[in-house]
Amino acid sequence: MYTAEMRELIKKVESTRPQRIGVNFERMTPAEKEDVLRENHPDYKKENFRVLRVGKNKGQKVPLELANLIEANSRINNTQIDLSKINYDVDVLVIGGGGAGTSAALEAHNKGAKVLIATKLRFGDANTMMAEGGIQAADKPNDSPAQHYIDVMGGGHYTNIPELVNALVKDAPGVIKWLNDLGVMFDKEKDGTMITTHGGGTSRKRMHAAADYTGAEIMRVLRDEALNRGIEVIEFSPAIELLMDNEGKASGAILLNLETGEYVIVRAKTVIISTGGAGRLHYQGFPTSNHYGATADGIILGYRAGAELAFADTIQYHPTGVAYPSQIFGALVTEKVRSMGATPLNIHGEQFVYHLETRDVEASAIIRECLVKNNGIETPTGVKAVWLDTPLIDILHGEGTLEKRVPAMFRMYLKFGIDMRKEPILVYPTLHYQNGGLLIDENGQTKIKNLYVAGEASGGVHGRNRLMGNSLLDILVFGRRAGLHAGEESKSIDVKDLNIKHVSDYNKELLENGVVTERVSPMLLPHYTHGR
């Protein structure tokens, strides 16, 4: 429900609407983009980053909150754990039960491997479930993997690793077909043509969707398939440390049963980290659109074992997080809302940025409008916000379109007394995605033998900025690739004795570099008190 002041301001939005319909706001030039990023993007706020003192990326900067977890003690310091008592002995251990992990498990299983999925919360509790807008793939006749490649590289400011982008765009149509054949219900015309839209920074309409439940639909189908295949899953049991063999190869993990407090020892021939992102670290005090479990755990484990980070200092702030009402503060308003024509407006009801710039540019323009130009709308949470003119969607595409194409958004707002078909909504950037992570190659391999990473925990494919619809794609492309490779490799691996020497080595390195701290990581779960 809007306040009386807000309702007054909505009248301005309504008064400028007739003149805005059908008028395309101009896109920024490359120089203008550069300027707005430098001035406003949180990645450029130097005081919120710190140089690492230990590990492979020593000397490089990462967000403060991540640095605090990297430079922290293991949860198993001063704990006696008997590594000879093996609870699970498998070919492939997948850590994390989201989209990347589940697709990896399915492909490793296809290879005949004995697979175990260990996950911190429930199977399927992941950012995948919350991906709303869509998944990119260059399948239409007017599109090509090469066209997709150019969009990805431009969106990532040409910093992306070319081999990874090549894999991403080349596998994309195959991923859509794989999902379709598993029974994912994509939005289609009667003749089978996929209903596709633009995302910020795309040159072709290649965003495939399942209403605004795209990730949820993909996740529930993949989960159902994994259950049908009989793949074993241990829920509420996050990995708290990797295990290595005497040759320094990854060989399993120590899990913590969150409900009983017991340790679980898993021996595995190959290990795939698919633990997702870090939104719950709330970098720079931002709210987040991320899952409760997005606390960078896999990055901590992998880094401690000697894997390298790439682009760990670049974070994606989604331009449109919920700014009001406070109950859903920070939740995602899918980019699809803008893909379908809703435009951002300031307090005067004026558009100030093209509605489909890449996410980093769009978010920076919104921050500038609120904090620099002072044209934001005050909200009770203390955050300034801009309007997103959602009634435009039905005006442009016909009554009933919004409810049909973004039913989750419509339902969410309605539960809190706002009808986004008739009233604009208030948005501000929200912490959405970690662009970087543990560095991988085309098969998801790190430089630690037998250690793979897939999905948001990995780094390199998106460079410094990811395009909409390339994350659902990334998790499936590299999840499948990692699963296939790890499943195949596991056939010729013979695991020897397990050890955790890398943890004591890491402790030593912390001390030698003057890091004395009480902090413990991985974080596992955030702590909230809501002002109490």
Which of 21, 51, 150, 371 lies at the binding interface for another protein (CB under 8 A)? 150
Dihedral sign of CA atoms 220, 436, 305, 262 in order: negative
Question: Minimum distance from CB of 291 to another protein (Å)?
Answer: 5
Which of 15, 77, 79, 193 lies at the binding interface for another protein (CB under 8 A)? 193
Dihedral sign of CA atoms 397, 403, 405, 406 in order: positive
C-beta closer to another protein: residue 307 or 440: 440
- Whether 253 and 242 have beta carbons less than 8 Å apart is answered as yes
C-beta closer to another protein: residue 153 or 493: 153
Question: Minimum distance from CB of 295 to another protein (Å)?
Answer: 13
Question: Minimum distance from CB of 90 to another protein (Å)?
Answer: 20
Which of 20, 53, 61, 205 lies at the binding interface for another protein (CB under 8 A)? 205
Which of 355-394 are b and which e, b meaning 16 or more Cβ less than 10 Å from the residue's Cβ? bbbbbbbbbbbbbbbbeeeebbbbbebebbbbbbbbbbbb
Contacts 24+ apart (CB under 8 A), 142-146: 142/204, 143/204, 143/206, 145/169, 145/170, 145/172, 145/173
Number of residues this chain uses to bind another protein (CB under 8 A):
89
Interaction of residue 326 with another protein, rule CB under 8 A = yes
Q: Which of 453, 101, 471, 124 is nearest to 291 (CA)?
A: 124
Interaction of residue 151 with another protein, rule CB under 8 A = yes
Given the rule CB under 8 A, which of 262-270, 285-293, 394-402, 454-462 is the region that contacts another protein? Answer: 285-293
Which of 80, 84, 142, 492 lies at the binding interface for another protein (CB under 8 A)? 142
Specify which residues 116 forms β-bridges with: 93, 232
Interaction of residue 218 with another protein, rule CB under 8 A = no
Note if 462 is an active site residue: no
Site for another protein in 388-427 (CB under 8 A): 407-408, 411-412, 415-416
Which of 2, 14, 17, 174 lies at the binding interface for another protein (CB under 8 A)? 174
Which of 86, 515, 520, 525 lies at the binding interface for another protein (CB under 8 A)? 525
Question: Minimum distance from CB of 362 to another protein (Å)?
Answer: 16
Interaction of residue 186 with another protein, rule CB under 8 A = yes
Which of 169, 209, 242, 425 lies at the binding interface for another protein (CB under 8 A)? 169
Question: Minimum distance from CB of 98 to another protein (Å)?
Answer: 11
* Percentage helix, strand, coil for the chain under 3-state DSSP, each rounded to 5: 35, 20, 45
- Whether 337 and 391 have beta carbons less than 8 Å apart is answered as no
Question: Minimum distance from CB of 216 to another protein (Å)?
Answer: 5
Site for another protein in 370-389 (CB under 8 A): 380, 382
Distance CA 12, CA 5 (A): 12
Distance CA 253, CA 268 (A): 8
Specify which residues 266 forms β-bridges with: 88, 253
One-letter amino acid for residue 347 of the chain: I
Note if 75 is an active site residue: no
Distance CA 85, CA 275 (A): 25
Site for another protein in 298-317 (CB under 8 A): none
Q: Which of 343, 347, 344 is nearest to 375 (CA)?
A: 347
Q: Catalytic residue positions?
A: 318, 338
